[in-house]
């Protein structure tokens, strides 16, 4: 059947279609119809298969490359010598050349395989949602949370630890907050993720989807008073009475946004570091 198709295609002289069918030898040889070809499918009339749509690449429109700089590259504010950060960065870049550390945010679902001397096959794999990214430089960490057999488990991994074999992003997305520690007080369904879930494809230049999910909480008391303005949490569906929410606003400090000593503008630093890191990674 495949051979017959092939001969027909040769007769028709349509090279593109031959390439398409040759690329998928295992699939059923579906002859894409065009005006000259016969439909061969055991004599039954085949459904009309439209030709594949041509992908139009508009070269005039420049695709804006998303500039993502991992937050641990940005040095914290302090009186440290920039040379120390530079040396740390060279080490971080070296490690990134060996292990691919993908772009991810708090709220993305990751799977991490590490080398474990005590496991039977010397590796251990953990899948979870990233609830926090902390630390700067080589000591940068991220915390993954999942609920396994009813027990909530959190793992704090160091990004540059040489025991990490692979970091895979199963689902790249952002959430409404930078810190999802409140998932510990949320209903368990919001922290359960399938350990064998398939990676959700994500193209390189799309915007990162922001999951507008508002999480429902377990009954109070919580580990922290998440309703207070200090945490500034957008991602909880508070079902608290109005008086409680207003009382929580007593602890708001609206003058902080005007405090000039707390300002730390990292835009220039980010650009320089992004340039440096990209150039080194390309080498």
- Binding positions for another protein, rule: CB under 8 A: 78-81, 83-84, 87-88, 91, 94-95, 97-99, 115-117, 122, 137-139, 158, 160-165
Helix axes 15-23, 2-12, angle to 10 degrees: 160
SS3 content of the chain, % helix, strand, coil (to 5): 30, 20, 50
> Can you tell me the distance from the alpha carbon of 140 to that of 134, in angstroms, rounded to the nearest whole number?
6
| DSSP three-state, residue 50 | coil
| Sign, CA torsion 116/120/123/124 | negative
| DSSP three-state, residue 168 | strand
Complex with another protein: residue 10 or 91, whichever CB lies closer: 91
Complex with another protein: residue 9 or 110, whichever CB lies closer: 110
> What are the two backbone dihedrals, phi and then psi, of residue 112, each rounded to the nearest 5 degrees?
-120, 130
Instruction: Label residue 6 left, alpha or beta by phi (over 0 means left) and psi (-120 to 50 means alpha).
Output: alpha
Write down the least CB distance from residue 222 to another protein, Å.
27
Complex with another protein: residue 91 or 194, whichever CB lies closer: 91
> Can you tell me the distance from the alpha carbon of 38 to that of 19, in angstroms, rounded to the nearest whole number?
18
Complex with another protein: residue 56 or 98, whichever CB lies closer: 98
Write down the least CB distance from residue 276 to another protein, Å.
16
Output the CA angle 96-100-104, nearest 5 degrees. 105
> Can you tell me the distance from the alpha carbon of 69 to that of 51, in angstroms, rounded to the nearest whole number?
41
Write down the least CB distance from residue 100 to another protein, Å.
11
> Can you tell me the distance from the alpha carbon of 48 to that of 33, in angstroms, rounded to the nearest whole number?
7
Write down the least CB distance from residue 96 to another protein, Å.
9
Write down the least CB distance from residue 28 to another protein, Å.
42
Write down the least CB distance from residue 122 to another protein, Å.
5
Complex with another protein: residue 138 or 208, whichever CB lies closer: 138
> Can you tell me the distance from the alpha carbon of 14 to that of 254, in angstroms, rounded to the nearest whole number?
70
Complex with another protein: residue 83 or 261, whichever CB lies closer: 83
Complex with another protein: residue 71 or 135, whichever CB lies closer: 135
Write down the least CB distance from residue 160 to another protein, Å.
8
Write down the least CB distance from residue 183 to another protein, Å.
27
Complex with another protein: residue 52 or 82, whichever CB lies closer: 82
**Cα-trace Rg, the chain:** 26
Beta strands 174-175; 210-211: pairing state: parallel
């Amino acid at each position: 059947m495949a051979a017959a198709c092939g001969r027909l295609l040769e007769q028709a002289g349509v090279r593109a279609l031959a390439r398409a069918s040759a690329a998928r030898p295992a699939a059923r040889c579906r002859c894409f119809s065009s005006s000259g070809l016969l439909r061969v499918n055991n004599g039954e009339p085949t459904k009309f298969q439209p030709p594949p749509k041509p992908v139009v690449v508009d070269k005039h429109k420049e695709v804006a490359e998303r500039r993502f700089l991992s937050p641990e590259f940005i040095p914290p504010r302090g009186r440290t010598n920039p040379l120390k950060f530079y040396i740390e960065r060279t080490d971080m870049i070296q490690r990134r050349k060996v292990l691919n550390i993908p772009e991810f945010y708090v709220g993305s679902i990751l799977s991490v395989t590490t080398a474990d001397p005590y496991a039977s096959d010397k590796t251990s794999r953990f899948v979870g949602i990233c609830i926090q990214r902390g630390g700067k430089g080589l000591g940068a960490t991220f915390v993954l949370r999942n609920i396994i057999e009813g027990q909530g488990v959190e793992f704090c991994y160091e990004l540059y630890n040489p025991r990490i074999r692979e970091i895979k992003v199963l689902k790249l997305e952002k959430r409404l907050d930078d810190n999802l520690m409140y998932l510990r007080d949320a209903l368990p369904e919001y922290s359960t993720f399938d350990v064998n879930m398939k990676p959700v494809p994500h193209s390189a230049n799309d915007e990162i989807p922001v999951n507008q999910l508002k999480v429902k909480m377990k009954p109070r008391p919580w580990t922290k008073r998440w309703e207070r303005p200090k945490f500034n949490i957008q991602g909880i569906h508070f079902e608290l009475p109005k008086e409680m929410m207003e009382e929580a606003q007593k602890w708001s400090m609206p003058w902080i946004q005007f405090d000039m000593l707390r300002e730390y503008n990292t835009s220039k630093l980010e650009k320089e570091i992004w340039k440096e890191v990209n150039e080194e990674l390309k080498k």
